[in-house]
Amino acid sequence: MSGTAAGVAALALEIPRAAAVPTGRRVAVFGGGVAGLTAAHELIERGYDVTVYEPVALGGRARSIPVPGTGADGRADLPGEHGFRFFPGCYQHVPDTMARIPFPGNADGVAGNLVPVSVTTLGFPDRPPLTVPIATAGAGAIGPDAIRRSLTTLLAFLPGLPPQELAYFADRMVMWYTMCDARRFGQWEYISWPDAIGAQGKSEIYQNYLARAPLQLIAAARPELTSARAWMTASEVLLLAVSGLAPAYRGGLDRILAGPTSEQWIDPWVGYLRSRGVRFVSDAALTRLVLEGARITSADVGGHQVDAEWFVCAMPANRLAQVLGDDILTVDPHLAGVRELVMESMIGVQFYLRRPSALPHGHIAAMGTPWAITAIAQAPMWRGDFASRYGDGSVADCLSVDVSVWDVPGILYGKPARACSKEEFAQEVWAQLERWLDNGTEWRCGEDVHSWFVDPGAHFDPAGVTNDTPQFVNTVGAWYRKPQARCGIENLFFCGEHVRTTFDLASMEAANEAGRRAANAVLDAASDDAPRAQVFALFEPPQFDPLKRIDADRYRAGLPHLLDR
């Protein structure tokens, strides 16, 4: 993430481009996830002829995945998913798009299906879990002292964290707020998060809960490989959202949808786009882009030729790397960086319970679990009675769990997730949940488990687990390997969480912003004067501008930040 001037400058990196030749308004979008649907949304509303080609399922990782054959007596199949969805208050693009998708009974469209989450439960292996209310502190004066106070309040749940280490961590965060743009992109992009916060030599609590757990739980990232710039920006906007210090972030820290994602968002979205004229082609994977000179003339999709004037690649980075041939890289060498982008797994498993869970109604972060377990009991947060709507009538709740670390041994079988069978994987996840949450509580409900479901994109083979839908992670230096929405080929565009955006964290928000940028790039290339899709800036507290100017002078002089110690 970066809303800084340097971030904007980097987004406008000079790339040689041939002059655009507006020849028509047909657009082929390859990929029907959040990014591709967003690009289609913006372009169809501006009069373009849009076809979306999707190889698996519309909605991508954000969609729901019904468990086949589990519905009975008119009920829908049990709702599975790649992993649970949440919508932090710092999201701006996604809620704006949602508000433009009609939904029966909602004046604000799909956005009316977002419901606030009021608590978060933190689980520990050696003491009772802690339930923390989520409430914004209310807007107030922004400055170094306000940031330190907010951090002290947020981290009060870490007993045993030495006061001097908490003070040091707060200073590192304040340093980020007062850091010039050039230092962020020129220095902090190239160091890891643990190095940025001086984790080496600190207490085990500091290393486990500040240097490792947040990245693993939220971004499925390896802390030692993660760009400090990317994660510091994520930390900044999340802190501003929960603190109430940013007027632009009005959604609080945490929201979820009031039901399965496809039911509440993706299906209405696709329906709206169809009503506007978007065509959808299923089982359609892009395999080749045909280049002549500086233009794409056609594309191969499942052995069929696709013709269009404009081509938008909205597939994940690993698939994009496979279709960027050497001829394309010759025209735009910068695109070779796509082949170096790193993908990691965050996969979900849903446990269906016969009785409502006794867990608090909010997200669960099992702090320090080997596999970085996060979860939420969904039925209490959803509209309607779960048992009467889904399954065979005997399932009362769905505990949806995300697993983010795949190469660390578990506590039940002593094997990393990627070496487990599907059954071992589910049993290990449940064992970690029990150990981290059943300390002095009555939440244990193993006997209530009706069944479980694992994302079918995960293949549990004897040689190891593979994942069809990994996500991009911001490794050190990745910003300069990421593509922009527009490239040196005049009618080829890119969108997805791996494309340069101001919200630089793998997320639905980044994908949505990238889809808007791709749509705007098509308009630019077509010399179209239609209004551009709105791209929101991240909130930057203006109170820190004088300190940033001081740091800019120091950075140009080769001096460290004033708080760098």
pLDDT in tens, 101-122: 999 999 999 999 999 998 888 8
Q: At what angle do helices 228-243 and 163-177 cross, to 10 degrees?
A: 100
Tell me: pLDDT of 69 over 80. Answer: yes
Sequence-distant (6+) residues with CB within 8 A of 219 are 226, 231, 234, 404, 473, 474, 505, 506
Tell me: pLDDT of 20 over 70. Answer: no
Residue 15: per-residue pLDDT? 32
Average pLDDT for the chain: 90
Segment holding 269, helix H or strand E: helix 267-276
Radius of gyration of the chain (CA): 23
Average pLDDT score over residue span 63-73: 97
Highest mean pLDDT among 173-182, 357-366, 444-453: 173-182
Show the CA angle centred on residue 338, arms to residues 332 and 344, nearest 5°.
Answer: 175
538: DSSP letter: P
Segment holding 393, helix H or strand E: none
Tell me: pLDDT of 4 over 50. Answer: no
Residue 152: per-residue pLDDT? 79
pTM for this prediction: 0.93
pLDDT band at residue 140 under the 50/70/90 scheme: low
Tell me the two tokens of residue 433. Answer: 């949940």
* Domain edges within the chain: 5-55+283-343+470-525, 61-70+79-118+254-259+346-467, 135-252+541-556
Name the residue type at position 216: Q
Residue 136: per-residue pLDDT? 55
Tell me: pLDDT of 5 over 90. Answer: no
274 or 363, higher pLDDT:
274
d(CA 213, CA 178): 25
String of DSSP letters for 409-460: --SSSS--GGGS-HHHHHHHHHHHHHHHH-SS-S---GGGEEEEEE-TTEEE
Domains 5-55+283-343+470-525 and 61-70+79-118+254-259+346-467 share a fold: no
Average pLDDT score over residue span 231-243: 82
d(CA 259, CA 510): 23
Q: How many CA atoms lie within 13 A of 3 on its CB side?
A: 19
Q: Which fold has domain 5-55+283-343+470-525?
A: FAD/NAD(P)-binding domain (3.50.50)
Residue 141: per-residue pLDDT? 64
What phi and psi values does residue 493 have, to the nearest 5 degrees?
-135, 160
Average pLDDT score over residue span 392-418: 95
* Dihedral sign (CA 499, 500, 506, 510): negative
127 or 45, higher pLDDT:
45
CATH 3.40.50 fits 61-70+79-118+254-259+346-467, yes or no: no
Average pLDDT score over residue span 132-155: 72
Q: Under DSSP, is residue 474 helix (H, G, I), strand (E, B) or coil?
A: coil
Q: What percent of the chain has pLDDT over 70?
A: 94
